[in-house]
Structure 1
Amino acid sequence: MEIRWLEAFIAVAEELHFGNAAIRLRMAKSPLSQVIRKLEHSLGTDLFIRNTRSVELTSAGHAFLPHARMVLEDLELAQQSVKVPDGVVYGHLTLGFTGVLNQRTLPRFTRAVRDTYPEIELSLVGRVMTQDAIAQLDAGTLDLAFVGLPTDSTRTETQLLLRERYGMVVPTEHPLAEQDDVELSMFAEERFITPPIGVGSVLYEDTIRACTNAGFHPIISQQITDPYMSMMLVAAGVGVAYLPEGVDPVVPPGTVFVPLEGEPVYLNHGLAWSKLRSSPAREAFLGLVEDVLAEGL
């Protein structure tokens, strides 16, 4: 088995298209197919399901992918080790986050890593919902992820970072925009903008649960993954959005964040990582958590 075979496999697995993977690897499509065949022959199993319209990973391909990535990452670390002085923490971390919901946590942690461990290369992956984050942590495509808590995974560790009380984002001309003592039940006839139902979003689950507890099921007018785009749709008059108070400083023009009275409901921001794998770089990142929390978010 050759390193270039693993590089080819990862490219095809990520692109799910031999032509795009060939362009990415700067090689012709036919030699790439031959490399994949050699890898499959050496493993004794097919890694891809191919037809004229699509390419998909087999179950063996899904199982092999995180290990292939780890081999290349270990090789990169080995090459880096000869260039870094003893005692210096180095490596590469991939961190998943949702988007505007992490606008208080993400900058603090990335800045702390950059200042304390400049030899750690940090890659950020945006628009990662909690359920997808857990799956990617299991697969090894993410090292850490900001998630909504709680999660139901037994293969990940989590730590609570921040709690934010929920409120409503409404258009500035909304009748409740300037009122005091606003309760969620007052929005029973409104159209809501939420994350999609099937993406494993804690925000979606919290929205449905809170509305149900307030005595109604929300009328959903639009479902969109990006919370900031949800607020843009609020500004456009498409509906209202149930969001945590941390978005208040970044609401777009034409919208306002309205705090809710009554029993408070919180979005619990957490950090998650896999129990099954570790690295000095990840442990160094986790070691910064208490320092960042002590400084305040």
Structure 2
Amino acid sequence: MQLHHIEAFLAVAEELHFGRAAERLHVAQPPLSRTIKQLERDLGAHLFERTTRSVRLTSAGEALLDPARQALESCRAARRAVQSAGRGETGRVRMGFAGPSSHLLVGQLGRLVRERLPGIELSLQSTTYAAEGLRSVMDGSLDLAIVRWTVEPPAIAHRIVTVEHYVLVVPKGHRLAGRNLVSMAECRDEAFVALPADPGSSLRDAFTRAAHDAGYPPNIVQTAPDSWTVMALVAAGVGITFTVDVAVVNVTQDGITVVPLKEGRTPTYSRLAWRKGDTNPALHEVLGASEEALPTPDLPNGVH
């Protein structure tokens, strides 16, 4: 049984007239009669009682009526789903991010996608650090990621969504608390709390690079899986931490003080990144929404 068999059967069953059914299907009556006879042979049963004056459904035809309608509607629903996906009206976009610095961005984008693109599922994956996120975008296991980098990777399209500055976070009462500006050189003897080296946090990389540029390997006494835990450890006096100002804004934690960092006067940037040439229509709809939800901030000349 094929789709054209079902369409022919339903047209005759609903019109109870081969001529009108043929007109409805925009075919000649003889091919329609042959299609019905072929269907009856395939099913091994007569579906219609025909006389010169009337056409009636047999009991077998009555039994086929509801399943045929359901089958036809399923085919139409499948066609609509494919067409909607092709237009970007439905689909799934997988997005990776990590840390409180990204949560506000993700919330803003998620809200707009829900309002404007209800047929698209924005599937979120947290604790996706920069290197891991970029690998996942490039290998196709993620469609989008919010990341930082110092060297632009190949095959990645991107747009800056946040301007950030590196800062120190210290316990209240710490010797550096209240300072207007501190350099990494002054932190040579400090104990640090940091994100893990794996799976590739750009913030951890920036921290160790800044310490080495100041002439020492940092004394990391404790690692933590996320910025919330890092801040709690700092508040408890375990050590100080190197982070970005946006991360601190989005963490509620008593007992800590933010200190501007000399090495943070040059800004760093969070970017929305995706594969160049990705043809997923749903992704392009989400990228369009991101232009409004996460607009590109004002940037210095030459930064893009």
TM-score of the superposed pair, with normalisation by structure 2: 0.65
Cα distance change on mapping 1:207 and 1:159 into 2, 3 Å: same
Distance 2:91 2:85 in 1: 13
Structure 1 equivalent of residue 129 of structure 2: 129
Matched, 1:264 2:265: yes
Paired position in structure 1 for 2:184: 184
The 1:86–1:156 alpha-carbon spacing in structure 2 relative to 1, beyond 3 Å, is closer
Q: Is the 8 A contact 1:149 1:160 kept in 2?
A: no
Displacement of 1:275 in angstroms is 2.6
Rg (Cα) greater in structure: 2
Q: How does 1:140-155 map to 2 (within 5 A)?
A: 140-151=140-151, 153-155=153-155
Q: Tell me the distance in 1 between the aligned counterparts of 2:122 and 2:278.
A: 17
For structure 1, list consecutive stretches of 5 or more residues without a partner in the other structure: 1-76
Per-residue CA deviations over 1:33-83 (Å, capped at 9, x if unaligned) read xxxxxxxxxxxxxxxxxxxxxxxxxxxxxxxxxxxxxxxxxxxx9587179
Partners of 2:234 and 2:78 lie apart in 1 by 50
Q: Match of 2:36?
A: none
Name the amino acid aligned to 1:186.
E
Q: Would you say the 8 A contact 2:85–2:282 is kept in 1?
A: no
**In the alignment, what sits opposite 1:110?**
110
Q: Does 1:197 align with 2:197?
A: yes
Change (3 A) 1:176 1:114: same
Query: Matched residues in 2 for 1:79 and 1:241: separation?
Result: 55
Whole-angstrom CA distance in 2 between matches of 1:110 and 1:254: 32
Structure-2 change in CA distance of 1:136 and 1:271 (3 Å): same
Give the share of equivalent positions with the same residue, in percent.
Answer: 30
Distance in 2 separating the partners of 1:79 and 1:192: 58
Does the 8 Å contact 2:88/2:281 carry over to 1? Answer: no
Q: Within 5 Å, give how 1:136-285 maps onto structure 2.
A: 136-151=136-151, 153-249=153-249, 250-261=251-262, 264-275=265-276, 277-285=278-286
| Aligned residues of 2:96 and 2:142 also touching (Cα < 8 A) | yes
Root-mean-square deviation (CA, aligned residues, Å) is 2.8
Deviation at 1:97, TM superposition (A): 0.6
Deviations 1:178-199 (A, max 9, x none): 2333333222111112222232
Question: What are the ranges of 5 or more consecutive residues in structure 2 without an aligned counterpart?
Answer: 1-76, 299-304
Q: Distance in 1 between matches of 2:205 and 2:153?
A: 16
1:230 Cα deviation from its structure 2 partner: 1.2
Distance 1:86 1:127 in 2: 31
The amino acid across from 2:138 in the alignment is D
How many residue pairs get aligned? The number is: 221
Partner of 2:289: 288
CA distance in structure 2 between the aligned counterparts of 1:82 and 1:288, rounded to whole angstroms: 22
**Which amino acid is the alignment partner of residue 223 of structure 2?**
Q
Amino acid at match of 2:288: G
One-letter amino acid of the counterpart of residue 243, structure 1: T
Contact 1:192-1:241 at 8 Å conserved across structures: yes
Q: 1:85 to 1:284 in 2, by over 3 A?
A: closer
3-state SS, counterpart of residue 242 of structure 1: strand
Q: By how many angstroms is 1:151 displaced?
A: 4.9
Q: Which amino acid aligns with 2:166?
A: Y
Moved more, 116-125 or 134-143: 134-143
**Using a 3 Å threshold, how does the CA distance of structure 1 residues 201 and 263 change in structure 2: closer, same or farther?**
closer
Change (3 A) 1:103 1:86: closer
Distance in 1 between residues matched to 2:86 and 2:181, nearest whole Å: 60
Seen in structure 2, the aligned counterparts of structure 1 residues 108 and 226 have a Cα distance that, compared at 3 Å, is same
Give the partner amino acid of 1:179.
Answer: R
Q: Whole-Å Cα distance in 1 between the matches of residues 188 and 153 of structure 2? A: 33
